[in-house]
């Protein structure tokens, strides 16, 4: 099956699934990565410059990111709390205390700051299901 045919088939199937579901119970989830240190493949210098230097506060941070699991329903409402995954191989002692004021997110840490299967199950059971409505429809990409 060609890609466009798969898209058309998905659209047909999802219409049948959601036709009697309230918009507030139709959810779309996606992960977004946030770089710890932004860097670009371009620099600004004089033409013919032999050596171009760039600065980063933390070199290791240029290769790592945080992950936010963003979920929105068909009415345009964001699901709260939002799961945020920090790259902290060893969680600092002050981690919970520093994040306590932020009630709109649940923060966890992993070695690489990315979602894994265990966190995916945690998110589904502890965050999504309690906030999604009686019979929600969840649309995610691979």
Residue 91: inside a domain: yes
List Cα–Cα distances, 25 to 75, 82, 141, in angstroms.
Answer: 9, 17, 18
Q: In this structure, is residue 6 part of a structural domain?
A: no
pLDDT tens per residue across span 56-108 = 666 665 556 778 899 999 999 999 999 998 877 777 777 778 888 888 988 88
CA–CA distances in Å: residue 107 to residues 77, 118, 124: 20, 14, 15
Asked, for residue 76, whether it belongs to a domain, the answer is yes
Confidence of residue 54 (pLDDT cuts 50, 70, 90): low
Domains identified in the chain, total number: 1
Asked whether residue 3 is domain-assigned, the answer is: no
Domain assignment present for residue 1? The answer is no
pLDDT tens for 96-141 read 788 888 889 888 888 877 888 999 999 999 999 999 988 999 998 7
């Amino acid at each position: 099956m060609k890609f466009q045919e798969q898209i058309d088939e998905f659209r047909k199937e999802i219409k049948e699934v959601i036709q009697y579901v309230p918009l507030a119970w139709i959810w779309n989830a996606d992960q977004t990565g946030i770089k710890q240190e932004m860097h670009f493949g371009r620099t600004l210098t004089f033409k013919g410059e032999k050596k171009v230097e760039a600065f980063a506060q933390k070199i290791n941070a240029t290769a790592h990111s945080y992950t936010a699991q963003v979920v929105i329903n068909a009415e345009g409402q964001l699901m709260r709390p939002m799961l945020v995954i920090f790259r902290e191989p060893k969680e600092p002692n002050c981690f919970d205390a520093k994040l306590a004021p932020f009630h709109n997110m649940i923060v966890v840490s992993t070695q690489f700051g990315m979602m894994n299967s265990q966190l995916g199950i945690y998110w589904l059971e502890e965050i999504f299901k309690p906030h999604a409505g009686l019979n929600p429809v969840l649309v995610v990409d691979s």
